[in-house]
A and B are shown apart, each in its own frame.
Chain A
Amino acid sequence: MTNRTLYCKVPGAMNHSELLDELVSIKRRTHADLSAGAWRWLLVWAVISLGFVVMLAVPGFHGPARWYWTLAVPLGLGATMVADRWNTDSDSRVRRRDRPYWLTTAGMIVLTTGGGFILPGRWPLVWLWVVFAGGFAVLLGLEGERRLSQALWLLTATFAVLAAIAVDPWSTSMTFGGLLSLALVFAAKASHSRWLT
């Protein structure tokens, strides 16, 4: 009798432990195979983001920089689509669904474009970075990279707070004051109901 048949016929803890280890190993290898094609869309959007940073660094380009994304986003989406097509046509036998990726990217475009038209002063630039960083955090989450996604969320939140303080300290303090008041109300409600029960 081999170890493999022993796994499920004898309910011994050692065999269950080995079975769990094997399953974890299978999950890890599948995850690695899935991530093999992810570098393509990451590369496309990293180049586009880097292009924006380079553009900001060049004197006299601050005006056009505001419209950079209007051109870059459709180009980036086209390149991502080609990369995705390439991945599908190649011998990729393990895939994730495309729809969440497209919905996230479409959400990023709507939010950045909408914010550019609605927000005043220097807010569109802050909004743009926050939406893109948040969008990338979602995309990393979809890739199953939970730690990286959480780290990016933390960085995005830190950047958003610092940028908001720099752009408009009064509105930022009022917003955080409001959020803190709401949190206090919920905390009071929770503790009150606990006291009653």
Chain B
Amino acid sequence: MSHPTSDLDEVVHQRVRLGILAVLSEADLVEFTYLRDRLDVTDGNLNRHLQVLSEAGFVEIEKRSHGRSRTWVLATRAGRRALTEHLEVLQAIIDSTREPI
């Protein structure tokens, strides 16, 4: 039987990328600067992680204008599912270490 860690998705299993998906699981549209401030990362760092998630099909990035142009990020269905599955695997790992030997 394989250890639950083998089920962890390498694209999602990164602190900032998990944080991005966690924010997007609550909201439908999140502005770039909100993610940057909430996750305490730099613009360049956030850009890089968003690019990874976008290439994996987990997020979409849109430019929208409400007076001034702003960059919005939204999770795709695959992104929401990836987060849910990832959290379940993490929980399984934690539970497996609590089981009596």
Contact = CB atoms under 8 A, between A and B. Distances in A.
Contacts, number: 74
B93 interface: yes
B52 interface: no
Contact of A19 (B15, B27, B38, B98): B15
Contacts of B100: none
Interface residues of A, number: 26
B90 A7 contact: no
Contacts of A89: 66-67
Interface residues of B, number: 31
4 smallest beta-carbon distances between A and B, as pairs: A93-B34, A93-B31, A13-B97, A30-B26
19 contacts: A7-B15, A11-B8, A13-B93, A13-B94, A13-B98, A16-B90, A16-B94, A20-B91, A23-B87, A29-B38, A30-B27, A30-B38, A34-B26, A88-B66, A93-B31, A95-B27, A95-B30, A96-B27, A96-B29
Interface of B: 5, 8, 13-15, 18-19, 22-23, 25-31, 33-34, 38-39, 66-67, 70, 87, 90-91, 93-94, 96-98
